[in-house]
């Protein structure tokens, strides 16, 4: 029983990380109508940069944030600029970023090789530290990611609902032309939003570097989880994404305990298929509505 | 006799009732004009009758055939065809290829080769034969509207819905298009025409049906109908509202 | 849209017949065995890309599911021929059928729901491939995570030695795939699919049985991809889930088709020949990572700049293509490519020809169809 409760607790926490990985993707898709597979590359590269800073230059892994967040926020903005420049449709974005994804993966391979890389335990004291509550122990990196994900989800919701920027974004998600008529400069707003999505990818990457081993092919393995969270949560829905992340994390953890670790992806993909078939607008029924 | 009959047609979009219990009929050989203010449901009615949308309520029969639950691709086999208000050509095909597609389907499908030959006749009928092998993006609006017509005729209809074929055209083009509609009608095709330009409809149609807010408010002889109180209010009421706003 | 007629398929068949005797004349003409294996590689990718394009290119429904159909074929042989000793040739057919059944299930479920269009359909097919990989990994009867040695299976003797056998099997499937694509393109099915790609609602109201046509095309795609995958299991030798269900197969069929052009059966063929040849040479020269970079870069370049694909562009600029190819051959010859292999020389020719048709055009201007403006104008009036 304690195994089960431990797994569920870990599942909920890892769900926070899933939400963090998925939130940027969801905003990109829901608001900007861009399916950005390069988002996965941003997470991957951010993780590798964190690894590099911590292992080679001896930084505290948390400090990597000051490098990766601005770096990938800029990356997101640059990409969005290019999408606007070449008038890439929603559909073409999928293919185009597929090409980018391949390029980034091969870049990562040539810089960091195809072998497993992990931050040395000396440089990463957090990996082995955990918070123990009764019979349950919670790993610090995952716990931090979970807390941060909640903070970011609520922060983003506040940003989108209460600020001028948020109103512009919602207008954009609803109807680009009408938004333009009300003075929303969609190029500026969408670049800002893409920058935000890039920053979230960077944060997710930092926590992944702190908690697990890296290899270039790992990014493909995130496809299933992130798309499940994005679709289940509803495109562009911050609270939906958070909720969906926790659900996917928990269900995956339960499946691991009950049927073995290799069944977790199967369950996740079945959830994705079921969502696409029966609830394509996602859990909270948001459709670009945020 | 193949008459189109529809009763109790209802169609909702979200909370809006676009059509609310519409009854009516189209008799073989007539030109029926369908008019009404913006948003009155004219285009929706054509979309429902041609199978583009499924009706939420009501039933449709054409001659012996019950169209109510027929999938759209079967409806055209019974002899109903339509044009789109905003031309929707197949954008990667040439003009000729656009018109040859309907010949390959429907009640008596032709092989792609024969379909091309037959398509050429309708292109010539609409005066587009010189553009047969041009890509779609080299056609102007007037030509696209004619292409819509040629493509609908290629489905060999007995009854043709024309959804605002004149909108966006200049006066000379309108005159030519009216002539075209007359020629189509005289070849034995029943016509339902939806049009913004009420004067054109009264000139062409042998009968007029007026829709307002999803309901039929008048039906009958063109000149009489256009003097009907309810019709006048539907049009003028809207206009006075617009003046206030 | 350009038409293709019966003669095209007869020519294809005649061409295939000539290729059939390649292995027989290998010793007389004195070319290395590697040519046969390289030929097989071409055939395999031509079959995969053509089959993918028959559904996706023609109908516009983007499928990431090629890996699922391919994988169904591979694992049909791995399970039935290796683990259960079914006759090998029969398991090829079964592989095609299993893939077709999976295609049928996807089609019936997905096409019933009209909401599932565009990118959602693409995701759905991706998810199906992932599910299949997970099922295979979990189930010991299929794989169980250990991999299956297909190289232990006994090969039918009448097919000759391995290079000859795989060359001819690949040739049969590639020919079948290409002729299928040609037949679809010139038939009512093809025209129906093109009209679905351009405007599905209009197609349906003009009498195109869209549901049936989409299912038919998806079945053809899945069946060919399945058979081709079944044969490919012999080439792989030791099949593992990671390899079979990797992103490689969907990536390459998409790249090849988009590179060559999706609107004509010849597009995927051109794309496959270019990508396989250049990829093979780059890998051989030790530039594995560069070849991935080029793959990704080409995909981006095509989407941004050359939407109609290489084939239609080459046909529109035959002179430039010919000059480019010849120049490539000359340059390659001068650099001593022929000393290494004939394939290297051809790779030079293809590479320069591709550059020649692509380079001098303005990459950064997208041509806007003039119609859109008119239509928008009407829409705002109406």
Has residue A282 been placed in a domain?
no
C109, A277: Cβ pair inside 8 Å? yes
pLDDT for res A92: 82
ipTM score of the complex?
A: 0.89
Has residue C227 been placed in a domain?
yes
* Distance from C-alpha of A165 to C-alpha of A191, rounded to nearest angstrom: 12
Same domain for C111 and C28? yes
Has residue A253 been placed in a domain?
no
* Distance from C-alpha of B23 to C-alpha of B8, rounded to nearest angstrom: 5
Same domain for C66 and C4? yes
Within A62-175, where are the H helices? 65-85, 90-112, 125-128, 140-162, 164-174
Q: Which of B70, B77, B105 to mutate to test the interface with C (most CBs of C within 10 A)?
A: B105
* Distance from C-alpha of C324 to C-alpha of B200, rounded to nearest angstrom: 59
Within chain B, where are the H helices? 42-49, 72-75, 95-103, 112-125, 141-154, 171-186, 198-204, 222-227, 229-244
CA distance A222 to chain C (A): 11
C148 contacts: CB under 8 Å, gap ≥ 6: C75, C78, C79, C82, C83, C238, C239
Same domain for C239 and C278? no
Has residue C333 been placed in a domain?
yes
Same domain for C329 and C301? yes
Residue B60 binned pLDDT confidence (cut-offs 50, 70, 90): very high
pLDDT for res B101: 94
- pLDDT digit string, tens, across residues C167-192: 999 999 999 999 999 999 999 999 99
Same domain for C285 and C211? no
- pLDDT digit string, tens, across residues B143-155: 999 999 999 999 9
Q: In this model, does residue C361 exceed pLDDT 80?
A: no
DSSP string, C73-92: HHHHIIIIIIIS---HHHHH
Has residue C232 been placed in a domain?
yes
pLDDT for res A285: 61
Has residue A175 been placed in a domain?
yes
Range of the domain at C34: 1-246
* Distance from C-alpha of C144 to C-alpha of C134, rounded to nearest angstrom: 9
Has residue A122 been placed in a domain?
yes
Chain A's closest residue to C60, CA to CA, is A91
Task: Specify the number of domains making up chain A.
Answer: 1
Same domain for C274 and C309? yes
pLDDT for res C365: 41
Task: Over range A9-35, report the average pLDDT.
Answer: 91
- pLDDT digit string, tens, across residues A68-85: 999 999 999 999 999 988
Residue linked to tokens 């041609």 = B50
In angstroms, the Cα distances linking C241 to A75, A238, C51, C142 are 33, 35, 22, 10
Task: Specify the number of domains making up chain C.
Answer: 2
Same domain for C223 and C295? no
Has residue A251 been placed in a domain?
no
* Distance from C-alpha of C329 to C-alpha of B62, rounded to nearest angstrom: 67
Has residue C271 been placed in a domain?
yes
Structure tokens at C83: 């683990």
Element (H, E) at A32: helix A2-32
* Distance from C-alpha of A99 to C-alpha of C253, rounded to nearest angstrom: 13
Q: Which of C197, C216, C246 is the last residue of a domain?
A: C246
pLDDT for res B238: 52
pLDDT for res C108: 87
Chain B's closest residue to C377, CA to CA, is B168
Has residue A271 been placed in a domain?
no
Q: Which of B154, B102, B168 has its CA nearest to residue B126?
A: B154
Q: Which of C246, C279, C307 is the last residue of a domain?
A: C246
Domains and CATH numbers, chain B: 4-18+31-86+159-244 (3.40.50.300)
Same domain for C25 and C104? yes
C145, A262: Cβ pair inside 8 Å? yes
- pLDDT digit string, tens, across residues B153-206: 999 999 999 998 888 888 888 888 889 999 999 999 999 999 877 778 888 899
Chain C's closest residue to B72, CA to CA, is C205
Has residue C31 been placed in a domain?
yes
Q: Which of C201, C220, C246 is the last residue of a domain?
A: C246
Has residue A245 been placed in a domain?
no
Has residue C126 been placed in a domain?
yes
Same domain for C191 and C314? no
Residue C298 binned pLDDT confidence (cut-offs 50, 70, 90): confident
Structure tokens at A244: 């969906």
* Distance from C-alpha of A239 to C-alpha of A245, rounded to nearest angstrom: 10
Range of the domain at A135: 2-218
Has residue A244 been placed in a domain?
no
Decide if C116 contacts C124 (C-beta within 8 A). Answer: yes
Decide if A39 contacts A25 (C-beta within 8 A). Answer: yes
Which residue of C123, C137, C258 is in closest CB contact with A227? C123
Structure tokens at A114: 């195809």
The DSSP output letter for B167 is T
Kindly state whether B82 is in contact with chain C, defined as any CB-CB distance less than 8 angstroms.
yes
């Amino acid at each position: 029983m304690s195994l089960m409760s431990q797994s569920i607790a870990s599942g909920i926490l890892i769900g926070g990380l899933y939400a963090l990985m998925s939130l940027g993707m969801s905003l990109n898709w829901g608001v900007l109508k861009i399916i950005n597979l390069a988002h996965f590359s941003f997470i991957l590269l951010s993780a590798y940069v964190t690894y590099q800073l911590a292992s080679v230059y001896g930084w505290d892994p948390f400090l990597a944030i000051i490098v990766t967040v601005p770096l990938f926020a800029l990356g997101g903005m640059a990409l969005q600029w290019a999408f606007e420049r070449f008038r890439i449709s929603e559909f073409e974005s999928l293919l185009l970023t597929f090409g980018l994804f391949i390029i980034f993966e091969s870049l990562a391979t040539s810089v960091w090789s195809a072998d497993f890389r992990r931050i040395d335990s000396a440089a990463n004291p957090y990996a082995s530290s955990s918070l123990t509550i009764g019979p349950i122990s919670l790993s610090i990196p995952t716990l931090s990611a979970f807390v941060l994900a909640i903070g970011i989800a609520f922060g983003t919701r506040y940003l989108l609902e209460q600020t001028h920027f948020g109103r512009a974004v919602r207008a954009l998600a609803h109807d680009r032309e009408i938004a333009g008529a009300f003075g929303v400069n969609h190029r500026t707003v969408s670049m800002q939003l893409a920058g935000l999505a890039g920053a979230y990818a960077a944060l997710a990457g930092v926590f992944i570097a702190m908690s697990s081993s890296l290899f270039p092919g790992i990014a493909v393995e995130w496809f299933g989880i992130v798309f499940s969270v994005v679709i289940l949560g509803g495109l562009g829905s911050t609270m939906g994404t958070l909720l969906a992340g926790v659900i996917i994390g928990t269900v995956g953890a339960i499946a691991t305990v009950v049927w073995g670790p290799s069944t977790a992806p199967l369950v996740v993909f079945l959830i994705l298929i079921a969502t696409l078939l029966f609830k394509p607008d996602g859990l909270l029924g948001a459709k670009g509505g945020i | 006799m193949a008459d189109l009959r529809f009763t109790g047609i209802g169609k909702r979009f979200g909370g809006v009732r676009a059509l609310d219990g519409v009854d009516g009929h189209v008799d073989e050989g007539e030109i029926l004009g369908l008019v009404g203010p913006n948003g009155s449901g004219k285009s929706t009615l054509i979309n429902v009758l041609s199978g583009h949308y499924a009706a939420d309520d009501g039933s449709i029969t054409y001659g012996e055939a019950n169209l109510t639950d027929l999938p759209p691709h079967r409806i055209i086999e019974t002899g109903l065809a339509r044009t789109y208000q905003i031309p929707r050509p197949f954008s990667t095909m040439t003009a000729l290829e656009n018109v040859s597609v309907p010949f390959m389907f429907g009640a008596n499908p032709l092989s792609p080769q024969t379909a091309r030959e037959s398509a050429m006749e309708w292109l010539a009928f609409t005066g587009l034969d010189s553009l047969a092998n041009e890509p779609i993006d080299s056609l102007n609006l007037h030509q696209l509207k004619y292409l819509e017509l040629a493509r609908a005729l290629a489905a060999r209809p007995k009854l043709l819905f024309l959804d605002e074929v004149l909108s966006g055209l200049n006066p000379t083009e309108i005159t030519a298009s009216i002539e075209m509609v007359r020629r189509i009608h005289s070849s034995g095709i029943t016509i339902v025409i939806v049009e913004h330009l009420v004067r054109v409809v009264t000139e062409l149609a042998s009968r007029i049906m007026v829709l307002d807010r999803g309901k039929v408010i008048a039906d009958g002889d063109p000149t009489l109908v256009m003097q009907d109180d309810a019709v006048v209010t539907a049009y003028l009421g809207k206009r006075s509202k617009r003046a206030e706003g | 849209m350009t038409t293709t007629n019966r003669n095209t398929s007869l020519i294809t068949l005649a061409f295939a017949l000539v290729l059939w005797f390649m292995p027989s004349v290998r010793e007389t003409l004195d070319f290395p065995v590697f040519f046969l294996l390289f030929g097989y590689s071409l055939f395999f990718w031509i079959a995969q890309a053509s089959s993918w394009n028959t559904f996706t290119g023609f109908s516009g429904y983007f499928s990431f599911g090629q890996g699922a159909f391919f994988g169904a074929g591979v694992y049909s042989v791995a399970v039935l021929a290796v683990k259960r000793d079914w006759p090998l040739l029969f398991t090829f057919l079964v592989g095609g059928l299993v893939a077709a059944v999976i295609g049928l299930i996807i089609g019936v479920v997905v096409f019933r729901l009209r909401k599932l269009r565009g990118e959602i359909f693409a995701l759905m097919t991706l998810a199906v491939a992932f599910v299949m990989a997970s099922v295979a990994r979990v189930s010991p009867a299929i794989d169980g995570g250990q991999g299956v040695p297909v190289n232990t299976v006994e090969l039918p003797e009448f097919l000759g030695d391995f290079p000859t056998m795989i060359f001819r099997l690949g040739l049969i499937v590639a020919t079948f795939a290409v002729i299928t694509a040609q037949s679809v393109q010139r038939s009512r099915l093809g025209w129906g699919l093109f009209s679905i790609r351009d405007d599905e609602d209009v197609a349906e109201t003009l009498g195109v049985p869209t549901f049936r046509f989409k299912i038919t095309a998806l079945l053809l795609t899945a069946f060919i991809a399945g058979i081709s995958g079944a044969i490919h299991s012999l080439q792989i030798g030791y099949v593992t889930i990671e390899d079979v269900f990797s992103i490689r197969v969907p990536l390459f069929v998409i790249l090849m088709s988009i590179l060559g052009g999706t609107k004509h059966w010849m597009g995927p063929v051109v794309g496959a020949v270019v990508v396989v040849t250049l990829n093979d040479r780059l890998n051989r020269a030790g530039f594995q990572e560069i070849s991935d970079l080029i793959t990704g870069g080409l995909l981006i370049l095509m989407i941004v700049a050359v939407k109609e694909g290489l084939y239609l562009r080459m046909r529109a600029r035959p002179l430039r293509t010919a000059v480019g190819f010849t120049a490539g051959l000359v340059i390659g010859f001068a650099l001593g490519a022929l000393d290494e292999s004939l394939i290297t020389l051809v790779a030079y020719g293809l590479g320069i020809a591709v550059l020649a048709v692509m380079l001098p055009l303005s990459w950064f201007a997208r041509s806007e169809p003039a119609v859109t403006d008119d239509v928008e104008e009407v829409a705002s009036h109406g």
